Amino acid sequence: MKIELVFIPSPAISHLMATVEMAERLIDQNNRLSITVIILSFNTKTTSMTTSLTTTSNNRLRYEVISGEDKQPTELKATDSHIQSLKPLVKDAVAKLLDQSRSDSPRLAGFVVDMYCTSMIDVANEFGVPSYLFYTSNAGFLGLLLHMQFMYDADDDINISDMSELEDSETELVIPSLTRTYPLKCLPYIFKLKEWFLFFVTQARRFRETKGILVNTVAELEPYALKFLSSNGNTPPVYPVGPLLHLKNEANDDSVDEKQSKILRWLDEQPPRSVLFLCFGSMGGFSKEQAREIAVALERSGHRFLWSLRRVSPNVMKEPPGEFTNLEEILSEGFIDRTEEKGKVIGWAPQVAVLKKPAIGGFVSHGGWNSTLESLWFGVPTAIWPLYAEQKFNAFEMVEELGLAVEIKKYWRGDILLGMTEMEIVTAEEIERGIKCVMEHDSDVRKRVTEMSQKCHVALMDGGSCETALKRFIQEVTENID
């Protein structure tokens, strides 16, 4: 009997590509299994990546694009509403997939929904099949989210009317998914706004409705957090199926344009572990003032560098960060000329292709979970500079809890995803200190990152922790319908 899973990823490209990677691994594990990935498009003009995916559909891994109104949501709340509005279209697409008049119609085994698409659990319920959650962030943050929801539901006296006061709090929390106490200052800004705190509480409640949670992490990376999640009787079974990294295309030098190829060739000419790479994700950007501070720090550090620099967007939901038109006016006078031989300032960077180069000795990153896993995969230590979403937590876990990164700055204000463009300026001195730490050749952090890199590679081998988790998940899915 053929069995079918329906995957519904978030429209965010990082979530979509992690979902694709997991779907490919699952069908490799079981030849009875087929998967349909339903891509929720924000508009009728599908991206080139979505188009390339749909052209690779086959009888075991298919891609269906569902579009609503031809309008890009410009706020997080509107994005959630947009996803909810697509439920009838998703229901129709699944019904067509299961058309009983087809001789090859599979048996629907369940939905695998993204952490931001939990409203699709309602559609799975209408079909009478279980839902599973795909959590693209780390197990530690999942533990924090579930713990906050549990505490909120258990205590009617919790006052969240003015969470902004937490910015200056010296209080530390005991989080069951961490071995160390967690400063309230390090709470992501989204938890300090009442409407978003309540949104994530509601989201966590829905997590608990699922039959299992697939987490993009490695068992050897977060053993303590995973132990908590597994021992918590109120949490569905957790499957650490990472690292889920899309390495196939971007790591291939032939997939980048000539300008980027020139940069990669320059990296090939540099000594091993001599170049600092600075890159801050698809939504990361900086003001002119902050860019100047970074430039001063880079020049003072004396290290070779490759800097992916973009200007901050006033609203990244409306407009992604762009490139500065005149770097000479933005950076300190003469910076480009003085650093011409040892540094390059570029726009968008092929991150995976850069990180795999032997010349890269350190990575200054926003601490997005995909970027964090990529840096570990290639054995490159990271100096984390969080900018939005859960990245403050990622920074704390990687630096304080796991000792696998160094910090740029421990506490700061602002979140560019919520329109907090007036970010607190991080000084050149603070940045330089982080650069020197991450580029230290014989540091304990570098040694631990090298060891963890090896563990991540082993996790994907036969008998590795990732493969074992995937087999357990497939067994659960199969037993549920047999």
Residue 156's contacts (CB-CB under 8 Å, 6 or more residues apart) are none
> What pLDDT is recorded for position 80?
77
Give the whole-number percent of the chain exceeding pLDDT 70: 88
What's the mean per-residue pLDDT of the chain? 88
Between 186 and 358, residue with greater pLDDT: 358
Asked if the model's pLDDT at residue 385 lies above 70, the reply is: yes
pLDDT band at 46 (very low <50, low <70, confident <90, very high): very low
Asked if the model's pLDDT at residue 82 lies above 90, the reply is: no
Tell me the per-residue pLDDT of 124-173, one tens digit each, with 9 for 90 and over.
999 999 999 999 999 999 999 999 999 999 876 666 655 566 677 788 99
User: How would you write 184-202 as a 3-class SS string?
Assistant: HHHCCHHHHCHHHHHHHHH
CA separation for the pair 3, 180 (Å, rounded)? 43
Between 317 and 325, residue with greater pLDDT: 325
| Cβ-count burial 426-448 (b if 16+ within 10 Å, e if not) | bebebbbbbbbbbbeeeeebbeb
Tell me the per-residue pLDDT of 437-467, one tens digit each, with 9 for 90 and over.
999 999 999 999 999 999 999 999 999 999 9
Residue with tokens 């079909």: 127
How far is the CA of 295 from the CAs of 23, 64, 280, 360, 426, in angstroms?
A: 42, 45, 15, 19, 12
> What pLDDT is recorded for position 325?
83
Q: Yes or no: say if 359 and 273 are a contact pair by the CB < 8 Å rule.
A: yes
pLDDT band at 181 (very low <50, low <70, confident <90, very high): very high
How crowded is residue 148: how many other Cβ atoms within 10 Å of its Cβ? 19
Q: Yes or no: say if 361 and 321 are a contact pair by the CB < 8 Å rule.
A: no
Between 62 and 332, residue with greater pLDDT: 62
When pLDDT is averaged across residues 269-286 and rounded to a whole number, the result is 95
Residue spans per domain, the chain: 3-142+184-242+462-481, 253-456
Tell me the per-residue pLDDT of 403-436, one tens digit each, with 9 for 90 and over.
999 999 877 777 887 665 567 899 999 999 999 9
- Beta 182-183 vs 172-173: how paired, if at all? antiparallel
Asked if the model's pLDDT at residue 251 lies above 50, the reply is: no
CA separation for the pair 33, 62 (Å, rounded)? 12
Q: Are domains 3-142+184-242+462-481 and 253-456 of this chain identical in fold?
A: yes
Residue 329's contacts (CB-CB under 8 Å, 6 or more residues apart) are none
When pLDDT is averaged across residues 53-70 and rounded to a whole number, the result is 78
Asked if the model's pLDDT at residue 72 lies above 90, the reply is: no
CA separation for the pair 157, 145 (Å, rounded)? 19
> What pLDDT is recorded for position 45?
43
Give the SS3 label for residue 276: strand
Phi, psi dihedrals of residue 441, rounded to the nearest 5°: -70, -40
CA separation for the pair 100, 241 (Å, rounded)? 33
> What pLDDT is recorded for position 357?
98
Tell me the per-residue pLDDT of 86-134, one tens digit each, with 9 for 90 and over.
999 999 999 988 875 455 677 899 999 999 999 999 999 999 999 999 9
Asked if the model's pLDDT at residue 76 lies above 60, the reply is: no
Return the H-helix or E-strand segment holding 479.
helix 465-481
Question: At the top level of CATH, which class does the domain 253-456 belong to?
Answer: alpha beta
What is the reported pTM?
A: 0.93
Q: To which CATH superfamily is domain 3-142+184-242+462-481 assigned?
A: Glycogen Phosphorylase B; (3.40.50.2000)
Asked if the model's pLDDT at residue 56 lies above 90, the reply is: no
* Cβ contacts of 229-232, under 8 Å, gap ≥ 24: 229/139, 229/142, 229/143, 229/146, 229/177, 232/146, 232/176
> What pLDDT is recorded for position 50?
65
